[in-house]
Amino acid sequence: MKLSAGHRRVPPVYAPRVSSSASRPSGIFPPLDPKTSTSTVEMRVRFCETDLMGIVHHASYLVYFEAGRVEWLRRRGVTYAEWAERGVHLPVVEAHASYRAPARFDDLLAVDTTLAELRSVSMKFAYVIRRGETKLVEGFTRLGCIDASHKLIRIPDYMRDVLSAGEP
């Protein structure tokens, strides 16, 4: 598919397997409902997150992504610590951010976090950071599922159940 300049292909949102289908790539599951797979958290920009120009440093947005992801899980009744106690870890293996407009000290930001893709051994969260209606940053992180010895493992069913559930 050829796209014109300034346009990009947006990947579909995927969820745990309900039935098998030859049309989907192996290890990717049926689409998730974006209404139940998105959570929003508000954050205020702290002074320590800005540079000498008073603009949020580009690396701070990755911290905002993580805060959004942790809250996304918390709203579904789980913490990373609980999964780590079971010997399952979710390290970030890929991160991307596209910057549209700057945020500044004391701005109130909304971080929209969406589980965009769920595969057999990884998941992808998409983020939009806004100030009011102004979109500041879009991005994503991919997390791999590993055991306590850092070996790649399939995402356990109990985790899939949480990941595919909406906020209560």
Which is the catalytic residue, given 33, 51, 147, 161?
Answer: 51
Which residues face 108 on adjacent strands?
44
Residue 23: count of CB within 10 angstroms of its CB: 4
Separation of alpha carbons 119 and 167, rounded Å: 21
User: Which structure tokens are listed for 108?
Assistant: 């109130």
Which residues face 99 on adjacent strands?
137
Please compute, for residue 82, the number of CA atoms within 13 A of its CA located in the half-sphere on the CB side.
10
The gap from C-alpha 35 to its chain's centroid, in whole angstroms, comes to: 15
51 is known as an active-site residue? yes
DSSP state at residue 87: T
Q: Which residues are catalytic?
A: 51
